[in-house]
Structure 1
């Protein structure tokens, strides 16, 4: 009966599926002599790596994102779906983005870079600055509050000054203001978190945190990581957590979910409820149906309803027996590992196990494609096998890496229970396996494509 109920819920979720936002490819041409490493966050604040290879990289987006440079400065760049960007590096090795024949967009892509150079980092990933650390008295906390507010003012003044000297759109101006305001709230919450015992002792904690929540409500929901992290911290701080919205178990989930339901409102509440549920939903979670039904009853935002629906569908779909090796193909059909091996008997097969979230995997893609071109007329097949749990993540990343044009681009379903994965102890990625023409494994942990030894190995066995 439970299996039938799960199937019915899957069908119900699919039946009322609203149209998804259209995915568009943003093209970024890297003119620098090295790769750039970035990341951005999705609607439930999950990080996604982006490697900008020398030459051209494609980024599949459904909405604008703040692309954060993965270095000590953490400079954000506001990027729209479908636009064509160019990037190079300045004398300080900072990324400089531009849009050809669009000075307004080029100015917008410079604003945060120049702001960080003048006023310091605006995103620090949770590492405290001097004005956020633990102190001994409430008066010291108050001094640091004023420091944070002065920094906020200096950044707002910078935006006004920049706007006077450079043309930027009204919509981007509002986004820049929101980022600075949300950064101040986030900074305050980290200060309060590090002094939680002191503030509770002096009965200041609740009023201080409530002021932060009121500030976020006044700013209004903004789908960028600065707002989302501030919102998560405003919930997590009530549970004395360092990591924003870290869900430790189902009981922890229930407490935070119930608190978010009663303490927050509007789209901020929808986001927090979706983020809590998204982090706990898994095949091991016993209350999928009840939790999704409760979520849909209380959440109005269709975007977050869709995210949870898709996650629930992926969990509740019938699980195939372990070891069948069922694989989805980018063209929409399916096959199995055994069928793929059978179809390519007499050829070398290089298996590339990767995932959308694996930056080292994706940084190897250009080298892999060069090797594939080098052996294009030889008896060897290159197979890209993703272990992503979410099919949309795989399709997005495959589009960005232009794997749709390759005949052997797969999503390995139930990768955690697959017999081939278990037998070959594929516990970390990237992982490369070279299979001989006789179907036997030549190298269970082959060199990476960027290593010359891989070409030597292939030549030896062709």
Structure 2
């Protein structure tokens, strides 16, 4: 079940972290022959593990101290290698957690500021009533499954967990902060478990969601009441609530060609605040690399709405992988060179292999495009001794207008090209609005499909950095 949890919990293992000002310290005080490992989810819904964080000392041995840079609380799950055992602990920035043998094959956790009850509560709850995994994993969604029987089990587990917190608090020293945080966590777990029809695998016949009982919807609506809270966004349990509730809202489009578009629309229209921003990002992340026709347009909607988003750089690293593959499929598409001859996209890229390529999509009738040209000339001069090439590709429909406008710019004509009227590349790069700019790195991969304008001070440093890498 632990392996199942890893897949369900995150679904992806791409590593990327915020730069954080604080650290959580984990100290391994176990015997040398005991397996030790842990994992947790980060703000991007990715899995981080002790394997990634291991550091060696001067003699080549592994240190027993792990430091997690974080500004937010984390639920860290410790594992001894058994597929059925996991020990969750809620750790805050600045906490130091010592991990010891508990004498029975498991772990015990000690907090250096004498609030050991804080570190023990989730682990004890896991042992008594489960916490790490929704209790309905392992089931198959089919017309034969008794939905309300599963719902009753979920409700019973939630009631037992709430009672457990009250009883635990009577016998152990637990801070008010941890008690409140634990109550929110088990509410999130309850909501996730109620949403099981939208993440359980279906049998070979599929499942008709119209068969869900009316009573199920009533209980679900009651269960999610009060669960949406931007302050919980750093926790993967809350991220899973957002994801699966969005699937619930998209119930009629699941497993159809419009699933992605509907999920993105529902994330946009039915959520607010930071939860909305994260969920829009997560939908894009989950569907990247699938060659979906509306993907690029929706990705750019997100980037326009949230230009300063903490997810922006991460997303820009994902989108190019998808775009690069699609771009390579169009290698033989023809454009018009300034001398009037045809040239393929591959020929243009091959000419500049080993260089950073900054592409300016413009047109003679586009005033904002022309306003950027002096900045482009200045930037090009500043980088003339670097491995950076500037290309200018016009969307003009009138060839003569393009030639006249290009001649006035006094640029290197060999870097000027014109799209043909029916261009798949133009559609791929989602050029519904210009000016637009794109960066291709030295390896020929798209680095940024929505690069800064020449007038943006950030662009010089970006191009300079890429040129020396």
Whether the 8 Å CA contact 1:29–1:54 is kept in 2: the answer is no
Say which of 14, 28, 31 aligns to 2:29: 31
Stretch moving more, 35-44 or 272-281: 272-281
CA distance in 2, matches of 1:108, 1:325: 54
* C-alpha distance 72-273 of structure 1, shift in aligned 2 (>3 A): same
Whether the 8 Å CA contact 1:185–1:215 is kept in 2: the answer is no
Q: What is the match of residue 232 of structure 1? A: 243
Whether the 8 Å CA contact 1:189–1:212 is kept in 2: the answer is no
CA distance in 1, matches of 2:355, 2:98: 41
Q: What is the match of residue 168 of structure 1? A: 174
Say which of 267, 283, 293 aligns to 1:260: 267
Whether the 8 Å CA contact 2:134–2:193 is kept in 1: the answer is no
Q: What is the match of residue 45 of structure 1? A: 45
* C-alpha distance 149-129 of structure 1, shift in aligned 2 (>3 A): farther
* SS across alignment from 1:39: strand
Stretch moving more, 167-176 or 81-90: 81-90
Q: What is the match of residue 311 of structure 1? A: 315
* SS across alignment from 2:86: coil
* C-alpha distance 35-229 of structure 1, shift in aligned 2 (>3 A): same
CA distance in 1, matches of 2:257, 2:39: 29
Whether the 8 Å CA contact 1:148–1:187 is kept in 2: the answer is yes
Whether the 8 Å CA contact 2:261–2:294 is kept in 1: the answer is no
Whether the 8 Å CA contact 1:74–1:124 is kept in 2: the answer is no
Q: What is the match of residue 83 of structure 1? A: 95
* SS across alignment from 1:216: coil
How far did residue 240 of structure 1 move? 6.5
How far did residue 307 of structure 1 move? 1.3
Q: What is the match of residue 118 of structure 1? A: 128
Query: Does residue 184 of the first structure (1) align with residue 190 of the second (2)?
Result: yes
**CA displacement 1:94-114 (0-9 Å, x = unmatched):** 2322222x111x221111111
* C-alpha distance 81-215 of structure 1, shift in aligned 2 (>3 A): closer
* C-alpha distance 161-185 of structure 1, shift in aligned 2 (>3 A): same
TM-score normalised by length of structure 2 = 0.52
Listed as ranges, the matches of 1:44-443 within 5 Å are 44-51=44-51, 55-70=64-79, 71-100=83-112, 102-104=113-115, 106-119=116-129, 121-124=130-133, 128=137, 136=144, 140-190=146-196, 197=208, 200=211, 202=213, 207=218, 209-217=220-228, 221-237=232-248, 252-280=259-287, 290-296=297-303, 298=305, 305-312=309-316
CA distance in 1, matches of 2:228, 2:236: 16
Structure 1 alignment gaps of length 5 or more: 1-19, 327-412, 418-462
* C-alpha distance 215-73 of structure 1, shift in aligned 2 (>3 A): farther
Whether the 8 Å CA contact 2:72–2:234 is kept in 1: the answer is no
How far did residue 295 of structure 1 move? 1.7
* C-alpha distance 155-117 of structure 1, shift in aligned 2 (>3 A): same
Aligned-residue Cα RMSD (Å) equals 4.4
How far did residue 198 of structure 1 move? 6.5
TM-score normalised by length of structure 1 = 0.53
Whether the 8 Å CA contact 1:193–1:237 is kept in 2: the answer is no
CA distance in 1, matches of 2:258, 2:266: 12
* SS across alignment from 1:48: strand
* SS across alignment from 1:45: coil
Whether the 8 Å CA contact 2:73–2:93 is kept in 1: the answer is yes
* SS across alignment from 2:20: coil
Structure 2 alignment gaps of length 5 or more: 1-17, 55-61, 325-348, 357-440, 446-469
